[in-house]
Structure 1
């Protein structure tokens, strides 16, 4: 039987390519120290899936014939280990992949011999294999949806000719960022010079798992932290986090505005239960309501001094964090943009005079942010831009603060976000 780490990777790949599913956040939770191998292997397979399959095809007896998914997975995992994981022995890379091919659930037993032969041949010169794979066009690893997302990320900054540079940057695994919740930061973390609330791992530092498990800190992408480092000096007594799970932004809002009453909405029962537990563990006082945010906003008569709508979106800005994104179906944009506009309209109606509304999506697509901003400017002329972020985080030239949050994707390390801020009265 293959090792647990490789079984987890194979299941994740089958979920992506067989079922069109995202890789669950907790897919490697029970692997212990083997999680490092699993994470590296899955990352290489997802980031280089197109090239791995392109290498296999001409090495088949009949390249025109289709290859079962179980065989594709076994070969991709074996090739990735041979090419990019020097700590894995030839024997382990080949033998474990053959065992996967023989698995009736995850493999295709008739192709055991094929997998064994191709990988043994590749193992004879691992450096040459890596060079062959890297020499294949990077575009093989990009779907049309990715091409569109990259173009849209660069267009507002006049950098359309930098697509390959952006893609290369996104192929590097993301570096985590952290936020202190109580006490001092642990040894091995250093301040982020661009984002005052954020901490990064020092060179050679280890992941601060005990500190995180103690509840003294949390992982939060530096883009999210920069988004919530808005400049706002008006009184904030009532806050609404309209799409609150998993709780990172709710936690940050509570720290920004101690003493404010916070209402956190989450539609899904399990996510709402997890949100309550997370906020309780972090000692954040908030009323968690399990409800569809748009429906709740449309029926409530309450008004809020600060509303955050971190809306459901395509997730195109999370390409670096979610390398499976290129291989998923992306046919829900009309539904998502309709939901976003409904949420934004309902939230604007519940904003108190002189309050602050922040709308954000982790997407680079203009349909999910800029189009809504332009539409709302006509539909609600009483709302006006609130310049709450430093100039460098927007798309405008100059040094004046900005009401549009859209960091340059090549100059900014972190997830791709678009946001805008509004006020009235």
Structure 2
């Protein structure tokens, strides 16, 4: 029987390539110390899936026939360990993959011998295997959805902007950057931050994990700090000096942005919406643990906004989206189906229209998505400008996030440059309602 770590990885790969579904956030929750191996192995398989399959194909008796998914998974996991995880012994990498191939629900037993033969040959020269895999074109690992996301990320900034590279070179540079596992960013909520966290020199209040430092899990579990991506922190570092008495976080879970809003505007009445019952319950627990006073309402945000008569001085609409900007954190993203974009863009526009109706005179509405695709961001901005001419663009973010600009210059759009900015791919805009 394969080890639990490898079984968890195999299940996750079947979810992605069999069901075209995301890897669940808690997929490795019960693994303990073995989670490190599982995380590394899953990341390698997802980021190198195309070239792993391409390396195997000419070594099959009938390359054009292909092999079942269970065989693909077993081979990919075995090869990834042999090529890129030197701490895993030859026998463990080969034997566990063969056992996985023989597993009824995750493998394909008739190919047990095939998996054994291919991996034993590969194990004879692991450096050569790694070199052969790295020599294969990087484009094998990015299906059309990934290329579209990369092109959308770079398009607003212009070819060579800030990097002195051509369009193709910029795309390759961005893809290379996104293949490195992201460094987590944190924010302290109370007391001293633990050793191993250092201030981010470019983003006040942001903390980064120093190299070799342990992940600060006890600090996070105590509610004294939280994980929050650099882009999320920069988004909420908006410049706004008008009075804020009523705040709405329209899509609030898991609660990081809600927490930041409460810290930025102490004393304001804060309402947080979350449609899923379990996520709403978790949101209440998280906010309580952090000492954040908020009214958490479990409701569909669009329906609630369209029926309430409440008005807010500040509305944050971090809308459901494709998640293309999270490609670095979710390397499975390029391999998903992506057939629900029309539904998502329709929902985003509905939410945006409803939120605009609930904005009080003198109030600020911030719209954001963790996506680079124009139909999820800039297209909505243009539509809102025509649909609601009474709203005015609000210049609340440093222009330097987007492009070089004179010191102190602000913009109404939020779009960090993907080659100069370390963080998730966010885009957003802000509008204000005049008094």
Q: TM-score range by the shorter chain?
A: over 0.9
- Match of 1:190? 198
1:406 equivalent to 2:415? Answer yes
In the alignment, is the contact (CA less than 8 A) between 2:57 and 2:66 conserved in 1?
no
The unaligned stretches of length 5 or more in structure 2 are 160-166
In the alignment, is the contact (CA less than 8 A) between 1:156 and 1:395 conserved in 2?
no
The unaligned stretches of length 5 or more in structure 1 are none
What does 1:14-413 correspond to in 2, within 5 Å?
Answer: 14-159=14-159, 160-161=167-168, 162-394=170-402, 397-399=405-407, 400-413=409-422
In the alignment, is the contact (CA less than 8 A) between 1:297 and 1:347 conserved in 2?
yes
- Kindly report the root-mean-square deviation, in angstroms, between the aligned alpha carbons of the 2 structures: 1.0
Shift of 1:396: 7.7
Partner SS state of residue 410, structure 2: coil
In the alignment, is the contact (CA less than 8 A) between 1:393 and 1:402 conserved in 2?
no
Partner SS state of residue 199, structure 1: strand
Instruction: Tell me whether 400-409 or 267-276 shows the greater mean CA deviation.
Output: 267-276
- Please give the per-residue CA displacement for 1:151-171, whole angstroms capped at 9, x wherever unaligned: 010011113331000000000
Shift of 1:204: 2.3
Moved over 6 A (4+): none
Q: Distance in 1 between matches of 2:139 and 2:102?
A: 32
- Please give the per-residue CA displacement for 1:132-159, whole angstroms capped at 9, x wherever unaligned: 1111111111111111110010011113
Shift of 1:214: 1.6
- Match of 2:432? 423
TM-score by length of 1: 0.99
TM-score by length of 2: 0.96
Q: Distance in 1 between matches of 2:15 and 2:5?
A: 16
- Match of 2:163? none
Shift of 1:394: 2.9
Shift of 1:27: 0.5
Partner SS state of residue 165, structure 1: helix
Q: Distance in 2 between matches of 1:103 and 1:132?
A: 29
Instruction: Tell me whether 207-216 or 305-314 shows the greater mean CA deviation.
Output: 207-216
- Please give the per-residue CA displacement for 1:361-386, whole angstroms capped at 9, x wherever unaligned: 00000100100101111111111111
Shift of 1:397: 4.9
Shift of 1:203: 2.6
Q: Distance in 1 between matches of 2:201 and 2:369?
A: 24
Q: Distance in 2 between matches of 1:55 and 1:130?
A: 11
